[in-house]
Structure 1
Amino acid sequence: MSRTTDILLTGLAPAIWGSTYLVTTEALPQGYPVTLAVLRALPAGLLLIAVTRCLPPRAWLGRVFALGALNFAVFWVCLFIAAYRLPGGVAATLGSLQAIMVIVMARGWLGTPVKAGAVMAALSGVVGVALLVLGPEARLDPVGIAAGIGGAASMAAGTVLSRKWQPPVPALSFTAWQLTAGGLILLPLALVMEPPLPQLSALNIAGLVWLGLIGAAATYAIWFRGVARIEPGTVSMLGMMSPVTAVTLGWIWLGQALDPLQLLGAAIVLASVWAGQRANRPRTTAEPKPAAIMVGETT
């Protein structure tokens, strides 16, 4: 499969994740961030383990739980808190900082060189997201801001370490391990920190099914496949597709208007994703030509 196809397939995951803002605010009960994160991660992880019939070896448990914490437990709790306490635009803008964090972390943990073009693409992407989603009514709640930045840092670290720690199993099994680990980490916290959920409506159940099966099991399998195949900087830039989807769904589903600045922001985001893909493209070096063998030369 070509690199372009890998990029397009991987980009489907954050594009679908953009629905999280709409589903969280419109279809889920408010005030249960940890419990909802558990219900999104644990059932999906256990289902995938039942399908793949593959358990992590004992030597991998530490890494699996570390990745489960970074990619799911910490990230999703921060995501839910930010979605509750901040307008979606502020939360999305903070989340877009992940691309810059990945560049820095990949340099430290993977030895990936920092490319000026990649940094410029990441910075312009943040500007584009801000134009796309920030409005004059945006409020800056300190807890929400901390959650947004913490979630971006957690996902960035999980992305880089998922590239560094690659088990010899399919992406679906790797996803199952991490989802289950993240859910198990969060389960006791949910039982202690939050009251029991109220009786769930059909809309609540539909929202959880969407976030668990599609927004977790399917999309993260695609994402981790891409992490294993594509440069970390390229993968992180694809994450900026999420706020583009969120705004598009707000326009289609909620009737929210799009002004010229938002359209400009969407164009900047798409251009930044393309520029990031170009800037992070691995350099190919021409193979040296074999030296000519002189007549009479012995080997």
Structure 2
Amino acid sequence: MSSVEATFRWVLVTAVAPVAWGTNYFVTHEFLPADYPLYGAAIRALPAGLLLLLVRRQRPRGSWWWKSLVLGTLNMSAFFALIYLAAQLLPTSVASTIMATSPVVMMLLAWSLLSERPRIPHLAGAGIGIAGVCLMLFTGAAAVGAPGVLASIAAMVMSSFGYVLARRWSAEVDVLSSTSWQLIAGGVVLVPFAVAVEGPPPALEGSAIFGFGYVTVVATALAFAAWFAGLRHLPAATVGLVGLLNPVTGVLLGTTMAGEALTARQLCGLVLVLLGILLGQPVATRLTALLRSRADRLSPGPGGDPAALPESGAHRRTGGGPTGVPAATRRPPAP
């Protein structure tokens, strides 16, 4: 398998995560109890971590006892609680737009912690993608409160930092083990806060059990395993841009369930988001570098004299024009 094919495969694997998270909005809103965010996060994280632990039966060793706690707090417990709080205090459009800035934050953190310098295609892709999310979601009609904005920013920064840390430490242990330990640690951290703040756990009916089953297996265990696998094999900037599929999925699912057609504004935003994601892929980066090197070779030499251009093989053979045929013998094209 070529490097391009392998990269494309890991991009597809990574895309499972934001698509699953995009469906999580609908499932949470329709099937899960609304007044138990901490219990909801704990019920989401703990069973998912235990499920992955059954698949990959390995306990943390050495430094991974405290690393799992740090990553579980950043990526699971604190993130789940803050994102729920932001969803309660902000319109979905505003919260999603703030979260869409995470690729830029991940690029800056990866530059600082991993020495992964952001490339121009990554930065351009992030800017175009964020503009697309704004077109899809942001109307500016709803009131925006400072507590909700702070909660959303904190969730975005903490998770971005946690993802970059997970990539930095990823070589020490396999993906399934590290993901399971993070989820278990995050769930354990949440339980005492849930008991103290929300009292007894909620009584779950059939629809809620089904909803938690989907959220646990698909939107958490499978999604986070795919996400951290992508972080292991792809640059953090590329993974962050793939994450823009999250709001795209939410918009498409919302319009489908409501039986409504996408507006022209939403379609333009969707195209921009997909373009931003494509720009950030390694294949696009290599193509940009190839075009730049070709442009450098074809640019005029010192002083701007076109005669300084290197002669092609056709010029050397014939001494003629660019077609390789002497100028005196070329015929004009037939009418």
TM-score (norm 1): 0.89
Residue aligning to 1:72: 76
After TM superposition, give the deviation of residue 114 of structure 1 in Å: 2.7
After TM superposition, give the deviation of residue 71 of structure 1 in Å: 1.1
Deviates more, 1:239-248 or 1:7-16: 7-16
Which of 218, 237, 240 lines up with 1:236 in the alignment? Answer: 240
Which of 150, 153, 163 lines up with 1:149 in the alignment? Answer: 153
Which of 127, 130, 137 lines up with 2:131 in the alignment? Answer: 127
Return the alpha-carbon distance in structure 2 between the equivalents of residues 81 and 255 of structure 1: 29
- 1:44 maps to amino acid: A
Query: Structure 2 vs 1, CA of residues 153 and 249 (structure 1 numbering), >3 Å: closer, same or farther?
Result: same
Query: Structure 2 vs 1, CA of residues 136 and 107 (structure 1 numbering), >3 Å: closer, same or farther?
Result: closer
Cα RMSD (Å): 1.9
- 1:239 maps to amino acid: G
1:177 and 2:187 correspond: no
Residue aligning to 2:56: 52
1:18-167 mapped onto 2 (5 Å cutoff):
18-167=22-171
Return the alpha-carbon distance in structure 1 between the equivalents of residues 258 and 108 of structure 2: 37
Residue aligning to 1:290: none
Return the alpha-carbon distance in structure 2 between the equivalents of residues 24 and 141 of structure 1: 23
Return the alpha-carbon distance in structure 2 between the equivalents of residues 97 and 196 of structure 1: 36
After TM superposition, give the deviation of residue 36 of structure 1 in Å: 0.7
- 1:178 maps to amino acid: Q
Aligned pairs, how many?
Answer: 284
Return the alpha-carbon distance in structure 2 between the equivalents of residues 70 and 238 of structure 1: 20
Residue aligning to 2:210: 206
Conserved? CA contact 1:233–1:280, under 8 Å: no
Helix, strand or coil for the counterpart of 1:54? coil
Conserved? CA contact 1:167–1:174, under 8 Å: no
Residue aligning to 2:192: 188
Helix, strand or coil for the counterpart of 2:58? coil
Structure 1 residue ranges without an equivalent (≥5): 285-299
Residue aligning to 2:227: 223
Conserved? CA contact 1:29–1:204, under 8 Å: yes
Which deviations, in whole Å up to 9, do the C-alpha atoms of 1:12-60 show, x marking residues without a partner?
2111110121122221111221111101001111222133211110321
User: After TM superposition, which residue ranges in structure 1, 4 or more long, deviate above 4 angstroms?
Assistant: 278-284
Conserved? CA contact 1:106–1:160, under 8 Å: yes
Return the alpha-carbon distance in structure 2 between the equivalents of residues 117 and 48 of structure 1: 35
Helix, strand or coil for the counterpart of 2:276? helix
After TM superposition, give the deviation of residue 88 of structure 1 in Å: 1.9
Return the alpha-carbon distance in structure 1 between the equivalents of residues 36 and 95 of structure 2: 18
- 2:51 maps to amino acid: L
Return the alpha-carbon distance in structure 2 between the equivalents of residues 174 and 198 of structure 1: 29
Structure 2 residue ranges without an equivalent (≥5): 291-335
Helix, strand or coil for the counterpart of 2:139? coil
Return the alpha-carbon distance in structure 2 between the equivalents of residues 176 and 44 of structure 1: 7
Return the alpha-carbon distance in structure 1 between the equivalents of residues 261 and 90 of structure 2: 19
Which deviations, in whole Å up to 9, do the C-alpha atoms of 1:135-157 show, x marking residues without a partner?
35433132221121111111111
Return the alpha-carbon distance in structure 1 between the equivalents of residues 141 and 237 of structure 2: 32
Return the alpha-carbon distance in structure 2 between the equivalents of residues 256 and 136 of structure 1: 21
Fraction of identical pairs, as percent: 36
Higher-Rg member (1/2)? 2
Return the alpha-carbon distance in structure 2 between the equivalents of residues 92 and 43 of structure 1: 26
